[in-house]
C-alpha cells in the first residue's frame, strides 16, 4: 500500500506535473488553461491532474461547466519535513576534503604523490 509520502514523490517525479504545480502557484486555473502550454492531449493532461489530485497536491472542483484546479500547498508539508531530516548533515567543506585527500595520498608529508 502506498503511503501519502510515496504518492507525493511519485507525483513530483514527472516534469509535466511539476510544471503544472508551478503554474498553479499563481492562481486557480481551468483545466483547459492548464493544458494550453503543453504539446500533449487534454486527456493526457487530465491524467496528470488526476495523479496530482490523488496525491493531494491539488484539488479540482466544477464551477458551472468548467473544472478548476487549485494548488494545495499544505500537501507538501510531509515531504518537506522528511527532506529537512537530511539537512542535519554539514555541507561538504571542499578545502578540508582536499587536505584530507592530500594527507591520505602523502602530499601533506612531503612525499611525491606522482608515480
Residue boundaries of the structural domains of the chain: 1-76
Residue 82: per-residue pLDDT: 85
Lowest-pLDDT choice from 7-11, 62-66, 100-104: 100-104
Grid coordinates representing 37 are 502550454
What's the CA gap between 50 and 113, in Å, rounded? 58
For residues 36-40, give the mean pLDDT.
96
- CA 24, CA 19: separation in Å to the nearest integer? 9
- Check the CA dihedral 102-105-111-115 and report its sign: negative
DSSP SS3 for 93: coil
Enter the pTM of the model.
0.73
Task: Please give the average per-residue pLDDT across 104-113, as a whole number.
Answer: 59
CATH match for 1-76 among 3.30.70.380, 1.10.1740.10, 1.10.10.10, 3.40.190.10: 1.10.10.10
pLDDT tens digits, 63-93? 999 999 999 988 888 888 888 877 766 666 7
Is residue 60 packed enough to be buried (19+ CB in 10 Å), middle (13-18) or exposed (0-12)?
Answer: middle
pLDDT of residue 13: 94
Amino acid at each position: 500500500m502506498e503511503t501519502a509520502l510515496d504518492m507525493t514523490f511519485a507525483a513530483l517525479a514527472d516534469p509535466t506535473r511539476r510544471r503544472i504545480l508551478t503554474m498553479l502557484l499563481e492562481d486557480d486555473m481551468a483545466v483547459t488553461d492548464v493544458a494550453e502550454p503543453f504539446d500533449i492531449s487534454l486527456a493526457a493532461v487530465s491524467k496528470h491532474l488526476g495523479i496530482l489530485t490523488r496525491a493531494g497536491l491539488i484539488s479540482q472542483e466544477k464551477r458551472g461547466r468548467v473544472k478548476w484546479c487549485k494548488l494545495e500547498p499544505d500537501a507538501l508539508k510531509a515531504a518537506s519535513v522528511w527532506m529537512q531530516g537530511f539537512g542535519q548533515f554539514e555541507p561538504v567543506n571542499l578545502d578540508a576534503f582536499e587536505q584530507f585527500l592530500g594527507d591520505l595520498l602523502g602530499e601533506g608529508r612531503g612525499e611525491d604523490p606522482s608515480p
